[in-house]
Amino acid sequence: MRINGFWVSDDFKPLNIDSVADVAMNFHTIFIKKAVDSAGGQGVICFKQESGKSALIEQLNKLDSNTVIQAGLTQHPEMSRLNPSSVNTVRVLSFLQKSGDVKILSTVVRMGRNGSYVDNASSGGVTVGVDASGRLKSVGYDIKGNKYYEHPDTKTRFNDVCIPDYTNIIKEIKVLQWQLCQFRLLSWDIAIDSDGQPVLIEVNMHSGQLDFHQLNNGPVFGEDTPLILEEVFGK
């Protein structure tokens, strides 16, 4: 990570840029991403090992903001069926109710297109809703609201795909929500690795993209809508 101009390891030990490059070169693919004021997969840099250490150092010297460097992830074959060039993530919208229960309001899968390595709808990707069993719904949408019944490039039908171990993902989110209980509405981005294990990519605390939750699974708040509107606007 690059924080306030300093390079540190994943356990926050200081590094110089040469050491950063040495660590990164152990991986076939790495991704370099701004850690603040970034959204929609914009500005993510994909770097391949074969480009060489000197090219990586040159790239790192151009950075002028807080940055995260991460090794590429090999996703589960079931998720790769949707689009193999991107890590296709599960976006789960959870809500901490006043009763203390954590309610799952909506789940969608986001997938990339046309060889893109990002899955964001704002970068041309497609989203599709997920039912309570973890199976994808039959209809997906792009950011313009166009409908798709299969992935436009791989031709995989959405409702032929089921998220591996979806029940466990939901169980873990309900536990993790309490570590961030100052935020009641959270959107979790989860990848599934090659062994079928969930990998937390990030938690969206400010903007969880209600638009595609609403499009795929609306009304997002369902029968709780009057109570939530009263809580927010009735003060």
pLDDT tens figures, 137-177? 999 999 889 999 999 999 999 999 999 999 999 999 999 99
Q: Give the up-direction half-sphere exposure of residue 121: CA atoms within 13 A in the CB hemisphere.
A: 23
CA separation for the pair 69, 76 (Å, rounded)? 22
Task: Note the pTM of the prediction, 2 decimals.
Answer: 0.83
Q: What is the sign of the dihedral through the CA atoms of 72, 75, 80 and 82?
A: negative
Backbone angles phi, psi at 84, to 5 degrees: -75, -20
Q: Quick check: 93 pLDDT over 90?
A: yes
State the pLDDT at residue 42: 67
Query: Which residue segments constitute the domains of the chain, with CATH numbers given?
Result: 2-71 (3.30.1490), 77-233 (3.30.470.20)
Residues in CB range of 99: below 8 A, 6 or more apart = none
Residue pLDDT, tens place only, 34-51:
877 666 666 788 888 889
Q: How far is CA 219 from CA 105, 141, 209, in A?
A: 9, 16, 14
